Amino acid sequence: MDASGWAAWAAAVTSLATLVVTTVVGGRRERHRWARDALTDAFVAFLEASWRHSDTAGGTAGTDAYAEPLLAEYREMRSQLTRLRLLAADGVVDAGESLLRRQRQVHDVPAGPERDEALAAASRARRAVIDAAKKEMGL
C-alpha cells in the first residue's frame, strides 16, 4: 500500500473515532439536558400545586366546600413528589416531604388562627424546597 492508501485509512479511522466520540458526548449532553428539564418541570408542578393548595385553604373561611379541591391539590403534590424522588437528590426529597406534611396540616386544621399558623409553616417549608431545588440545579 502506498502513502495515499495509508493516508486514506488514517483519515477513515480518524473520522470514525470523531463520530464515536461526538455520539457519546452528544448523547450524554442530551440525557443531562433531559434530566434537568424533567427535574425543573417536576419542581414547578410540585410548587404550583402547593401554592394552589395554600391559596384555596386561605380562602375557605371555615367552610367544608373546599375540602375536595384541597385534597386534589394535595394528591397532585404527592404525584409530583414521586417524580422528584426519581430525579432529585435526597435533600430535595426530604424538603419536599416536609412541605407535603405541612400542606397536610393545613388541610387538617380548622380555619382560623391554627390554619394561619399551618399556612405560615407551609410557606417556610416551600421556601426550603425552592432553596433545595436551586442547589440541586446549581443555581
Assigned domain for 15 exists: no
Which candidate, 47, 94, 100, places its Cα nearest to that of 74? 100
Q: In this structure, is residue 97 part of a structural domain?
A: yes
Distance CA 128, CA 12 (A): 54
- Give the whole-angstrom CA distance, residue 130 versus residue 128: 5
Q: Is residue 17 part of a domain?
A: no
In whole angstroms, give the CA distance from residue 19 to residue 106. 56
Residue 106: all three cell numbers together: 393545613
Q: pTM (2 decimals)?
A: 0.74
Note down the domain range covering 122.
Answer: 33-136
9 three-class SS: helix
In a domain, 20, yes or no: no
Q: Residue 44: which CATH number?
A: 1.20.120
Task: Write out the chain's pLDDT in tens, 139 residues.
Answer: 677 777 777 777 777 777 776 776 666 777 778 888 888 899 999 999 999 988 888 776 556 666 788 888 889 999 999 999 988 899 999 999 999 999 999 888 888 899 899 999 999 999 999 999 999 888 8
Residue type, 24: V
Measured distance CA(5)–CA(40) in Å, rounded: 52
Number of folded domains that form the chain:
1
Give a yes or no: residue 128 inside a domain: yes
